[in-house]
Structure 1
């Protein structure tokens, strides 16, 4: 630990933090269950645990496997291990006491440590240890899986028109307005993923006969799975299933024979299939004289809608003892080094105020403790609540302008004055983050939401501040996307000749195509500048008349990707704007990856000797690329948002913010809630379990997990508590809650005898027994 302190400036002692010290220093054959609260240094602990195994226990780096939930977290963990490992090695080499170990130190290869997400590790191992002559796995992204479900699960066999299927999916999702084709595909993929994740007996489920739509849903899912199998493709669920099966069959013995240490971060987001994988790997590690370490926080388990089962974490010691006969030591990391004392106290009070929620937490979980080191202003929790959403957005944008550009904002509490401002030398607007339950900028009825109004007021101010919210609109509705897709359709299919010949074209796709083409015509009229000595109109006309002006257009096979990049020269927002670059990346990924399942590989064929190929290739592109885009089956993947621009204020969902931290965090706790309306109840104070719970109850009856004992409405409450626990624990220095006055003070009902009614809201301190712990007016915070 002396080397860690001198080389890495990290002081780990039993007196300073017993949990961190014990987790790092534990014997190599001691398995650990680490319950790590927010800001408790779990990534540091994992990295130093790995380095301790290598430097102190002399463990071969190739025998260590460390995995976590997201690509960004995996990259950070790997970066810590490599960076700190090299710095420690340099310190040891320079120390005369280690002269005899010089050769051993220089031979350590940290790159041999197996790190990544469970998906990336599965892919790499299946590729590296595959049988001679067998193909490497080809993985499709989630948005391509959606496209394939649309094409093969729904369009083929006209299942998207089946009323039994529509009604079943509508009931399962709780959608009262009906589902479009993309929405149907998304729910079918959720069911398919659940079948894998929960190890559901699909035959038993399909034959249950409880609803006629189940049989059609299974037909669509099986058609999708057959297409994957025939094309030798894997989605992420199938990839994990294949990896697990190979482990069971003994097909990866060359790998498992050397694994001794398995470390898993973010274990609270694990599903049953992943637990099976981890337990199988742990079994080999234990047989090889090693151990297993899992790290997580049940209070931050917010991915249940993706199949995560928090009980696998809370009951981990008992489950692994039953499965493998090992009893892990439980270690808690409860000291928070991220946030001020005020924020830590707020977070701890919030997570403890619902008595029923305590039953869903790790037993005897200690309270979060403030442990941040250094001088700090203990700024109070702030609130900004206004009568209407427009006033809220205007005042919030004025507050942000003052914090960023106008010298700061003064806050006074108990005769103490604090100044909130961005560090002029080292800070930027990206030190601020706005968190919402959803980053969508408009409601279903077209009314603006806080993210839209905030963007508007910040951008139109005298000193504009830009926001970063690529997920604020559906991809198909973004003006630049509409223009680009419309231009592509106008180029390859002028006059809609091929499009009109597609008999099973969904109505929602037809409507979107019309909107796109209209947007293209308008865009052509507005952009008359020349690029490459021709205008956009001339370029499109050249394609429409099949009189190309460039060499790439004279090929027999013209890649649609080339057409995309040529058209983008007239769309500056997709070249210069960071959000536009995200939209372009989604389009290009869709075109590129659709080549793996479309018949013509995302190319348009021009062959005078086989003129029918042109129409067939265009139809193939419309089915494989444009219909999924137009029906909303393809949207912006979170992987594209891992890098936040350093000159914009990010607006994101709370789920996107998990694992991140910011000096100032603004949490929207009620800008959508004007009254206690039943249609909004699930977002703030659930009356029933919702789609995720319905899907759990539906499918887990055919899973080893069985139907959850905790009622659906309680699980929905648990999810909301965890969601806002994550939100409130993101800030380092300042937490600002925003919403409408009705959320903090209630509102007067209409009629002859109006009375004051309050809006129950988990995010403002209500428990599920109708007790408002924070109270009317939210007196526990300082209001702006």
Structure 2
């Protein structure tokens, strides 16, 4: 067969002919996936893709079909994803799929320049378009790239909420409990302020409506948000949410409408995690053509705490009618090619076994959603779904560790990384996953837990912080400054200083010790210029904090840590925090003051800011950064949050702490607080109660956890009628026989007891 010379002239029949085939000669597409490719896109396409049904596979071939058959220019096709990692995977698989077609003889595929695709997260694509189109509001604007940086900015710009001591204000939004007698500390105020501001942006909250409500707390909030916007504008900065607001404003402008009217094909991945402002952006991108495809699964919606709303997916048809005046075509991907049939049966029964997932008024799930169909081809009559239920977590942990060791020793998994321990929180406390990881390590096995929030107490990183403290603050800060530090930070600083002293006490690192002593001496001997009272080198160049960091990192043992994968990633995270701190606090310059005892010292407020913002940010729980290209650690049992496991799959999944119960959080409160004042055009007219939404969140969370498993799913934890909550919430009591509070109650659920 001869291939056409140009893209866009290939028939769908020929496209299929050049697609890779399965061993039996059939297409590597299910009938549902073929329907997606054969859609004519005169109407929007609404794809509900359950776990393991080949969502990414569908997107890859759909993109290539739109390019090669429909003739969409690559530079006019936009594919948005939820994370950078997902974007990287999609790009890689697109390149591989195109190459497979080239290898099969399709010359037209060689002419497709995939680098021209607009592929990435919405934040990345918004920034790219706004810069390329020279949108005035975002020219020369620096983005606050993460939550910690945003909190630094709120503190540095002295937002009014930083001085809000009104307990009832913080209680209103459920940031503190009604019984609390003290307002949040400065660090927490910054965290909560950012959460409030982000939700206001994402929900298009109307400040005039807030103020006209006459409620004092809402007026305070409106003024604080207004001050935040003003300070961002003055500082030529934007946060992630406001970047999207700028993008939406651009799309509504004549220039933006002209850009969209050139023709745009839009595909949106993970649509269940879309927030209100993103939904509006997507429909404006679709323009009058309405060439829009959304792909997602309402049962895997996990990011309400970041402002996502599952209604974007479950009510996509209503939004299409509002924005486009037309009805989308629904398509369900149901063939699960990941899991053992018993696991598929389990997740079907689980998600359908909760009355909370049905509501006569509100669409909790996508309408008409069918069950998953097992198509993995896995065979075997062994119990693929099992439970470890003990009277206390330490006993359950011993059984889990023995199971893990047995799977590895018997060769049932080829690498420990094929086993994942999933849980709500991976902090290694006695009441969390601590007993489980300790028991596995006691078996001589490695455990990788990048979300343990323990990186900040790593001995080497602690010593690095201690070196900084000893250089900038040899005698430890003045009592009145230290007393004002956030709770726990003074002890953390003392621990860091002690860690550095312990590091050099053995005499193994004389150059590091000399550098710290010499730096302290240089500060004490520095001459202060009243007009420019900052620490300078001999040549007159100002010394900044990152210079000290680089000098310290050039010394052993820190230099060797940079060559170690885990240590290097921790130091990289520290460096990123330092860069953002410098950008907001005097460019990292070190201000000097006269020492009452003679000579010079670092100014007290410079030291205080360094401790109260930079060090406090680390102390609050610096995570081991996750490599953008690799989430799993070969040779180690992977411990991760259920959120982190989204999009992954494992031969064996062990879900820990099924006694975890749903809880109403500030997230659910903020949804209710801002609902009345939101200007979002498709906001739901009716909201379920906070308790019902919290139950939905817990059910979906464990649905995601269970559906990661390929060959073996184990639920493990404490189950005791007197000592622990029952498991009915996370096991699906409705398809069992009542409340699950003892081992006998598990018998009717199809879980094999270990």
TM-score norm. by structure 2 comes to 0.85
Q: Secondary structure at the match of 1:734?
A: strand
2:385 matches 1:385 = no
After superposition, give the CA deviation of every residue in 1:94-115 in whole Å (9 maximum; x if it has no partner): xxxxxxxx5x654321111111
- Partner in structure 1 of residue 336 of structure 2: 336
CA distance in 1 between counterparts of 2:623 and 2:378 reads: 43
Does the aligned pair in 2 maintain the 1:115–1:121 contact within 8 Å? yes
After superposition, give the CA deviation of every residue in 1:491-533 in whole Å (9 maximum; x if it has no partner): 1222234x65759x74425x413432333224323434567x7
**In structure 2, which of residues 495, 499, 503 is the aligned counterpart of residue 518 of structure 1?**
495
Does the aligned pair in 1 maintain the 2:447–2:638 contact within 8 Å? yes
Q: Secondary structure at the match of 1:778?
A: helix
Count of aligned pairs between the two proteins:
713
Moved more, 114-123 or 56-65: 56-65
2:273 matches 1:280 = no
Does the aligned pair in 2 maintain the 1:337–1:372 contact within 8 Å? yes
CA distance in 2 between counterparts of 1:567 and 1:546 reads: 15
Map 1:487-636 to 2 at 5 A: 487-497=467-477, 502=481, 506-508=484-486, 511-528=488-505, 534-546=510-522, 556-568=541-553, 569-571=556-558, 574-575=561-562, 578-599=565-586, 601-604=587-590, 615=603, 618-619=606-607, 622=610, 625-626=613-614, 628-629=616-617, 632=620
- Partner in structure 1 of residue 70 of structure 2: 57
Unpaired stretches in structure 1, ≥5 consecutive residues? 94-101, 409-420, 443-447, 674-682, 749-756
- Partner in structure 2 of residue 150 of structure 1: 155
In the TM superposition, what is the alpha-carbon distance from 1:298 to its structure 2 partner?
0.6
Q: CA RMSD in A?
A: 3.6
**In structure 2, which of residues 11, 17, 35 is the aligned counterpart of residue 22 of structure 1?**
35
Does the aligned pair in 2 maintain the 1:35–1:296 contact within 8 Å? yes
Q: Secondary structure at the match of 1:737?
A: strand
Does the aligned pair in 2 maintain the 1:381–1:736 contact within 8 Å? yes
CA distance in 2 between counterparts of 1:138 and 1:613 reads: 33
In the TM superposition, what is the alpha-carbon distance from 1:13 to its structure 2 partner?
7.4
Does the aligned pair in 1 maintain the 2:167–2:181 contact within 8 Å? no
- Partner in structure 2 of residue 86 of structure 1: 99
- Partner in structure 2 of residue 418 of structure 1: none
In the TM superposition, what is the alpha-carbon distance from 1:122 to its structure 2 partner?
0.6
CA distance in 2 between counterparts of 1:577 and 1:203 reads: 53
In the TM superposition, what is the alpha-carbon distance from 1:361 to its structure 2 partner?
0.8
Q: Secondary structure at the match of 1:54?
A: helix
Call closer, same or farther: CA 1:305–1:518 in 2, change over 3 Å: closer
2:444 matches 1:440 = no
CA distance in 1 between counterparts of 2:111 and 2:632 reads: 37
Call closer, same or farther: CA 1:634–1:144 in 2, change over 3 Å: farther
CA distance in 2 between counterparts of 1:177 and 1:336 reads: 52
Does the aligned pair in 2 maintain the 1:68–1:264 contact within 8 Å? yes
In the TM superposition, what is the alpha-carbon distance from 1:477 to its structure 2 partner?
4.8
CA distance in 1 between counterparts of 2:734 and 2:157 reads: 45
Moved more, 35-44 or 183-192: 183-192
- Partner in structure 2 of residue 415 of structure 1: none
Map 1:23-422 to 2 at 5 A: 23-93=36-106, 105-131=109-135, 135-142=139-146, 143-153=148-158, 159=163, 161-170=165-174, 179-206=184-211, 208-210=213-215, 212-252=216-256, 255-286=259-290, 291-359=291-359, 360-373=364-377, 379-404=383-408, 406-407=409-410, 421-422=412-413
CA distance in 1 between counterparts of 2:563 and 2:28 reads: 53
- Partner in structure 2 of residue 456 of structure 1: 438
CA distance in 1 between counterparts of 2:557 and 2:178 reads: 42
Moved more, 349-358 or 719-728: 349-358
Call closer, same or farther: CA 1:158–1:137 in 2, change over 3 Å: closer
Call closer, same or farther: CA 1:301–1:177 in 2, change over 3 Å: farther
Does the aligned pair in 2 maintain the 1:529–1:536 contact within 8 Å? no
Call closer, same or farther: CA 1:389–1:774 in 2, change over 3 Å: closer
In the TM superposition, what is the alpha-carbon distance from 1:323 to its structure 2 partner?
1.4
**In structure 2, which of residues 701, 722, 732 is the aligned counterpart of residue 765 of structure 1?**
732
Call closer, same or farther: CA 1:695–1:636 in 2, change over 3 Å: farther
In the TM superposition, what is the alpha-carbon distance from 1:747 to its structure 2 partner?
3.2
CA distance in 2 between counterparts of 1:133 and 1:186 reads: 26
Call closer, same or farther: CA 1:706–1:764 in 2, change over 3 Å: closer
Does the aligned pair in 1 maintain the 2:138–2:246 contact within 8 Å? no
After superposition, give the CA deviation of every residue in 1:654-677 in whole Å (9 maximum; x if it has no partner): 11111111111110133xx5xxxx
After superposition, give the CA deviation of every residue in 1:240-297 in whole Å (9 maximum; x if it has no partner): 11111111113335642434311001111111100110000011543xxxx1101111
Map 1:597-676 to 2 at 5 A: 597-599=584-586, 601-604=587-590, 615=603, 618-619=606-607, 622=610, 625-626=613-614, 628-629=616-617, 632=620, 643-670=631-658, 673=659
Does the aligned pair in 2 maintain the 1:153–1:224 contact within 8 Å? no
In the TM superposition, what is the alpha-carbon distance from 1:588 to its structure 2 partner?
0.9
Does the aligned pair in 1 maintain the 2:286–2:292 contact within 8 Å? yes
CA distance in 1 between counterparts of 2:207 and 2:40 reads: 43
Q: Secondary structure at the match of 1:281?
A: helix
- Partner in structure 1 of residue 7 of structure 2: none
Call closer, same or farther: CA 1:624–1:523 in 2, change over 3 Å: closer
CA distance in 1 between counterparts of 2:631 and 2:280 reads: 32
Moved more, 378-387 or 108-117: 378-387
Does the aligned pair in 1 maintain the 2:339–2:378 contact within 8 Å? no
Call closer, same or farther: CA 1:697–1:771 in 2, change over 3 Å: farther
In the TM superposition, what is the alpha-carbon distance from 1:622 to its structure 2 partner?
1.3
CA distance in 1 between counterparts of 2:272 and 2:143 reads: 25
Does the aligned pair in 2 maintain the 1:263–1:293 contact within 8 Å? yes
CA distance in 1 between counterparts of 2:87 and 2:739 reads: 39
Does the aligned pair in 1 maintain the 2:719–2:726 contact within 8 Å? no
Does the aligned pair in 1 maintain the 2:197–2:225 contact within 8 Å? yes
In the TM superposition, what is the alpha-carbon distance from 1:708 to its structure 2 partner?
4.3
Q: Secondary structure at the match of 1:200?
A: coil
Q: Secondary structure at the match of 2:420?
A: strand
In the TM superposition, what is the alpha-carbon distance from 1:35 to its structure 2 partner?
0.7
Q: Secondary structure at the match of 1:470?
A: coil
CA distance in 2 between counterparts of 1:625 and 1:456 reads: 33
Call closer, same or farther: CA 1:573–1:69 in 2, change over 3 Å: same
Does the aligned pair in 2 maintain the 1:335–1:368 contact within 8 Å? yes
CA distance in 1 between counterparts of 2:491 and 2:118 reads: 49
Q: Secondary structure at the match of 2:250?
A: helix
In the TM superposition, what is the alpha-carbon distance from 1:189 to its structure 2 partner?
1.4
**In structure 2, which of residues 670, 674, 685 is the aligned counterpart of residue 699 of structure 1?**
674
